[in-house]
Amino acid sequence: MREDFAEFVVARQSQWLRTAHLLSGDRQFAEDIVQQSLEKLYVVWPKVVGVGAPDAYVRKMILNVYLSETRRAWRRRERTSEDVAPAVVQPGSAPLDDRIDLVRALGALPRRQRAALILRFAEDLSVAETAAVMGCAEGTVKAHTAAGIKALRRSMDLHCVGVTE
């Protein structure tokens, strides 16, 4: 059963690290988030596999560890470099500077707005799936998403076509 755990982790670790980095805005903090989540997952692995949907379980663990760690007073005072790892941002049509600006703008959002946007658009979860991960109502996810998009538009001075609030 532990071999299954190792295979599961190897197959998905880079995705989890990307999600944690988008949430935290810091590569080392993201690695800590994933590590803490995997430590907790290892303990309950037989139960998680028995119930099914381990991906959803890990996503929720990552979000919970992130939210828990950012509540700590010493974490709020700690300042890290503004180094943004370009590997976290998927290659696309936007120039690298725009993608880095987007990651920084995401980092300036309140934690739950950032989480809603990342789960909805980077993880491609539905409103219902995002609500389940965040442990809130679907309306709350919609409100956080709309407020987050509005704040991103304002901070980046973007006029996104096809994105509704």
Q: Which residue has the tokens 């491609």?
A: 124
- pLDDT at 150 (0 to 100): 92
d(CA 61, CA 48): 12
Other beta carbons within 10 angstroms of residue 147's beta carbon come to: 17
- pLDDT at 74 (0 to 100): 52
Residues near 16 by beta carbon (within 8 Å), at least 6 away in sequence: 34, 37, 58, 62
User: 28-66 burial by CB neighbour count: b if 16+ within 10 A, else e?
Assistant: ebbebbbebbbeebeeebeebeeeeebeebbbbbbbbbb
Does the pTM of the predicted model rise above 0.85? no
The parts of the chain modelled with pLDDT lower than 50 are 75-79, 81-91, 159-163, 165
Alpha-helical runs (H) found in 52-137: 54-71, 73-77, 96-108, 111-117, 127-134
C-alpha dihedral, 154 to 157 to 159 to 162, nearest 10°: -60
